[in-house]
Chains A and B, each alone.
Chain A
Amino acid sequence: MSALIEVKGLDKAFGGVHAVEGVSFSVEAGQVYSVIGPNGAGKTTLFNLISGLYTPTKGEIRLKGESTAKLEPNELAERGMCRTFQQMQICMNMSAIENVMLGRHLKLRSNLFTTLFRLPALLRDEKSCRERAAELMEFVGCGEYLDTDASAMSYGALKRLEIARALAADPKVILLDEPAAGLNAVETAALEKLIRKIADQGTTVMLVEHDMKLVMGISDRLLVLNYGRVLAEGTPEEIRNNPDVIAAYLGG
C-alpha cells in the first residue's frame, strides 16, 4: 500500500528565497509524524503547501496516491485533511460550539430550502451536529465553554477549540501547527495526552513543534528541516543520535 501522504522534490520560492527546497518524505497512515527545525526552517510553509493554502513552485504532494496540485483547501478537507494554525484561526464572531460545528460543515446535508423554512430535516441534522460538537469539546477538554463567545475564551482554551474544530470533520490526517506554543507545562502535558488519544483513534497526526520533549515522546518519525532543506529523517532514536542534527539544532 502506498503512503498516506507522499511528498516528492517539493520546492517553494518567495521571490528569490527558497522557503522549502527539495523536500521529500512520506507519512504512513496511523503515524504521528513531526516536523522540527529552527525558526524560519520552512515548517509552516511546508504545512501550508500540504494543506493547499500555497501552491508549490516545484515538486508534488500526493494524498492517498492522488496529486493535490489542483485541489483547493476545501477539496482537501473533503478528502480527509484538516489542520490547525500557529496563528490561531478562530471565528471570533461566533460562539465556541459554533466554531466546532463549523468543522462539521462537510458532514451536513442541508440546502437553502430546508434552511430558510427550518424544516425538520435541518433541525435533526443540527441537533446531532451539536451533540457531536459538544462531545468533541469535552474530548479536547474545553467542554465547559459550549455557548461562550469565542472572543471571551482564554488562549489555551482556544488552542484546544481549534483542535476540536479540526477533528469535527472526522479527518484521516490532522495537521497541528505548533499546538504547544504559548502553553505552560501543565497544559503541554494535557496536550501530549490529547495527541496520543487522537492517534490512538487511528487518525494520522502531523505535527510542527518546538517543544523537543513533547515531540520526542510522541512521534513515530521525525523530519528535521534546516534552511528549507531536509537535514535528517527517521525515528526519534535515530534523530537524537544524528550528528548533523546535534550540530545544527540541538546545539551539541
Chain B
Amino acid sequence: MLNRFMQMRLRDLVILAVILFALPLFLNNPFHYDLATQMAIIAATVVGLNLLVGFAGQISLGHAGFFGLGAYFTGIMTSNYGWSSVPALVVGAILVGIVAWIVGRPILRLKGHYLSMATLAVGFIIAIILNNERALTGGPDGMPVPAFTVFGWELSPFGSYNLLGMELNGSEAWYLFAAVVLLVAVWLAQNLIDSPIGRALRSVHGSEVAARVVGVDTARYKSLVFVVSAIYASAMGSLYAHFQGFITPAVAGFDFSILFITMVVLGGMGSTMGVILGAVVLKLLPQVLADFQELETVMFGAILMLTMIFMPKGLLPTIQTAVGKRMKKKAGGQA
C-alpha cells in the first residue's frame, strides 16, 4: 500500500497538505504563525518561479519586480480607490501578465548571462518606478494596505474568527488561508508540468533544438511560462501586501529577487517540493542564526556556499537520491 501511495500522481500534494495542517501543533504564538504565513506566501511565489527556472531552464533575476507590482497594485486600488481585495488581485495579476508578455517577448531571445542581466534590469526599473511615483506609491516611505476582504468579510491579523466551531485568532486564520493558497498553487503548477504544455517547457530545458524540430514553438512557450510565473508572483505579492498591512519598494527590490532565485536553486531546481523547502530554510535560517549576532550574515553565506558545493542539485533532490539509494540497498539485502 505504501508503494502504491508512493506512485500516486498527487503524492507530494498530499504530503504537503498533511505537513501544512499538522504544523499548527508546533506553532505557539502569533510570531510563529506570522513567519509560517510569510513562508507559505513566498513558497507559492517560488513554486511559480520554479516553472520558469527549474522546468523551462530560463533564469529571472527580476521576479521581485512582478511581486512588487502585484503588491502595489493591490495597495493602491484597495486603499486609494476602495476596490475589494479579490478584484484588485485578479486585475493586478492580469496586468502584470500583460507586462511580462510585453517585456518577455524580446528578452527571452537572450540566453544565459544576457537573460540574467535583462531580467535584472526589468526588476530594477520596476523598483525605481515604485520609488519615484510618490503620489501613487508613497515613494521610499511605503504605503499602508487595508486588510484582505471578500464580500465584506475581513481577514485581519488582529481579528478573531470561528471556523467550523474552532476559535481562531487573526494570525491563525491567515496561516490557514495561506496554506490553502500554497496547496492550490502547487496543484496548478503540477497540473501544468504534467501536461503537453509542461513537456514542451521541459523540452526547452532538455534540448531546445529537439523541441523545435518536433514542432514546439519554443519562443511562444518561453513567453508563456514567463507570464505564468509573473502572474504567480503578482498574485502572491497582492496577498503579501494585505498580510503585512504595509509595503515599501523593497518588496520589488534586488534583495527579494535574489532571495527568490536562491530559494529555487537551494531547494532544488525543477522540484516543486524542493523549492518549498528552499523557501522554508531561507526564511528560517536568519531566525536560527540571530543568536550569532554580527556573525549572522557570515554564517548565512557559509551555509549557502557549502550547500551549493556539496549538494549542487539542491537540498531535496539530494536527500531523495540518498534515501532512494538506501531503500534500494535495504530491498537488495532482503532479496
Contacts and interface: CB of A to CB of B under 8 A. Distances in A.
B22 interface: no
A105 B218 contact: no
Nearest to B55: A93
B210 A110 contact: no
Given A89-B209, A93-B206, A102-B199, A112 B214 contact: no
A78 B215 contact: yes
A129 interface: yes
Choose among A73, A101, A122, A129 the residue with the greatest number of B CB atoms under 10 Å from its CB.
A73
Interface in B179-223: 188, 191-192, 195-200, 202-203, 205-207, 209-218
Contact of A112 (B197, B203, B206, B217): B197
B146 interface: no
Nearest to B214: A103
A145 interface: no
Contact of A102 (B211, B224, B270): B211
B209 A91 contact: no
A129 B197 CA distance: 13
Contacts of B198: 115
Contacts of B224: 112
B27 to A, nearest CB: 31
A115 B209 contact: no
Interface string A93-131: 110001001110110101010011110001001100100
A166 interface: yes
A129 B210 contact: no
B215 A105 contact: yes
A105 to B, nearest CB: 5
Interface residues of A, number: 38
B199 A98 contact: yes
Interface string A62-80: 0000000000111011100
A106 B207 contact: no
Contacts of B209: 53, 73, 85, 89
Question: What secondary structure prevails in chain B residues at the interface with A?
Answer: helix
A102 B192 contact: no
B258 to A, nearest CB: 25
A115 B195 CA distance: 7
Contact of A90 (B196, B197, B210): B210
A129 B191 contact: no
B199 A116 contact: no
Contact of B207 (A53, A91, A117, A129): A91
A82 interface: yes
A169 B202 contact: no
A219 interface: no
Given A92-B206, A115-B192, A73 B213 contact: yes
B195 A122 contact: yes
A74 B202 contact: no
A91 B195 contact: no
B199 A101 contact: yes
A116 B209 CA distance: 26
Contacts of A105: 196, 199-200, 214-216
Given A74-B214, A92-B206, 14 more contacts: A53-B212, A73-B213, A74-B218, A82-B214, A89-B210, A90-B207, A93-B205, A93-B206, A94-B199, A105-B216, A110-B195, A115-B197, A117-B191, A168-B214
25 contacts: A53-B213, A74-B215, A74-B216, A74-B218, A77-B212, A82-B213, A91-B202, A91-B206, A91-B211, A93-B202, A94-B206, A98-B202, A101-B199, A105-B199, A108-B196, A115-B191, A115-B192, A115-B198, A118-B191, A118-B195, A122-B195, A122-B196, A125-B196, A165-B210, A168-B214
